[in-house]
Amino acid sequence: MPEDDFRKRARHIPFAREGLPYVSAAAFTTLVSAVSHWHPLTVILLATTLLMVHFFRDPVRWSNAGEGDVVCPADGRIIAVERRKETCFTNREMWKISIFMNIFNVHVNRVPVSGRVAGLHYRKGRFLAADRKRASLENEQNWLWIQSDDGRDVVLTQVAGLIARRIVCWPRVGDAVRRGERFGMIRFGSRVDLYIPLEGEVLVAKGQKVFAGETVLCRLK
């Protein structure tokens, strides 16, 4: 996909485009139910429509991140900070920061560092609960390798989960990406694993609530 097309997909509206089919279907069935005077069903369908709008919201994000800062790629909660070998692209030990996204978090994912996409890899897999350790190894996932403007390797993995079974990633190999911009989403939440160089100073801890494009996870020295 040409870089301009990637940015058109990521251009901001307060609602993720990938949610439009879900919201449209829910709204249409709500309308049919209302016209047919099926009042109890209409109430349920209206609530479903509003939930879909909430699930696929895409708010503006601002960050005061400085030079060398790595921002969070996903909304959610930190479930692991550990040293692990990144096996898809770099094949070396790195800091691994795992973020669990529940279905009520914003689903849109954002670029952690400015640079260029050096690699992409999609792998089919299972759909275990995303907060389990085995999910990083066995679940369906999409790997994105970014070489930062200062030559650092940063790798992130969008991991499908028990409910989330649709991973979206817009950029392609060779595309330039900017820190904090949208690059994709995982429908109905799940998990993102971020691999950063060991020389980086980790600034978050397990259990911490984080926000995509805003929270600084690490400072690269």
Annotated catalytic residues are 190
Contact assessment for residue 42 and residue 33, using Cβ atoms and an 8 Å cutoff: yes
Backbone angles phi, psi at 131, to 5 degrees: -85, 0
User: Coil, helix or strand for 110?
Assistant: strand
CA 101, 107, 113, 116 dihedral sign is positive
Nearest to 194 by CA among 123, 134, 141: 141
Task: For tokens 């070489």, name the residue.
Answer: 147
- How many Cβ atoms from other residues are within 10 Å of residue 66's Cβ? 8
User: What would the two tokens of residue 43 be?
Assistant: 């109430």
Collapsing DSSP to helix, strand or coil, 105 comes out as: coil
